[in-house]
Structure 1
């Protein structure tokens, strides 16, 4: 009987935590991070304000948990059995598009997320994204889409850096095309290379 009670209790705790995260993400998307209060998150999740602090120390502390949750959803979205492309390179492009569309990729939110991650070292969204991209690179190498002699962690880091650079440029007004198209083009440019016919002749 005790084990069943504990099981129900743990299930309720997980459900409450999930409701808080869903409410926070919805409010951040609708009215922005700064305008959203803990009281609003708790009210939207249908819990008392004090309940919020049973799960998260501060409003900032919910950000790494949100990122971890969203990355878990991203992993599922990249599964071919869930409808993702068969091509690993196409899945890399899909991953970047999905991350860019997430409200957590807004530059202001991303800065706070980075700061929160520094305080909560058990959750590192940037590292998690790197690992996700590196795994897709490994699969692309196995499929012959990317050279197999290159370090997948290094390439994952390069792709992640290109992603963040493109998103920041977009939010700073560099918009020659829709952001998803620019992200696709950045991956294609990385794969095709930028060298001209005489680059090896340079000193």
Structure 2
């Protein structure tokens, strides 16, 4: 008898496989050139299966980007955790993230559009970045040390930080003269000022 958790695991494996295939195609042919039909064919699944996991191409991109970003930034996390303060830890993450986006600029516009569209549609879960969990964990640790205010729940503070981050990427996309590293440094300064402010 199969366990109740088996179907979700199978679904997750299929979704991860589709995301991996989509990323390989995006890297080979460019995001705009790749179609959903190509992704389904390359992954060896019916189009209906693909659309069941990703109703639009941007959803496949979001998953692929989150997995790639997490993979590329994961070697950094040991160094980040060796830093003592929330501000220096976040600075390390955001600086590395800026460098990553500068190397993957072509993906940024469709990703940002999708994230804000998903927000407007009230979609949750699939589009959430793994970085939200990282931010929340770092924030919770900082609150426990009395480093920042503790009257706001870590997931909510993490969400505020993440949307400030997305806004900075959007500004960078709109103006080629901007430095994303500088924009994210400003985001961090703004966030830390608010996070350290007294809630009373």
Which TM-score band (shorter chain)? Answer: 0.5 to 0.7
* Count of residues in Structure 1 that have an aligned counterpart in Structure 2: 185
Alignment of structure 1 residues 29-108 onto 2, 5 Å: 29-45=27-43, 47-50=44-47, 52-53=49-50, 55-56=52-53, 58-60=55-57, 62-63=59-60, 66=63, 70=67, 73=70, 77=74, 82-87=78-83, 88-97=86-95, 100=98, 101=100, 106-108=108-110
Separation (CA, whole Å) in 2 of partners of 1:12 and 1:65: 20
- Deviations along 1:28-86, one digit per CA (max 9) or x if unpaired, are 355444421123213433x1444743752633474387179639947x93995x45432
Separation (CA, whole Å) in 2 of partners of 1:44 and 1:154: 39
Aligned to 1:200: none
Separation (CA, whole Å) in 2 of partners of 1:69 and 1:18: 11
Give the RMSD, CA atoms, in angstroms: 4.4
Separation (CA, whole Å) in 1 of partners of 2:114 and 2:158: 23
| Closer, same or farther: CA 160–14 of 1 in aligned 2, 3 Å | closer
Calculate the TM-score normalised by the size of structure 2. Answer: 0.61
- Deviations along 1:1-41, one digit per CA (max 9) or x if unpaired, are x659x97x987765443221112123335544442112321
Aligned to 1:198: none
For structure 1, the residue ranges without an aligned partner over 5 or more in a row are 194-203
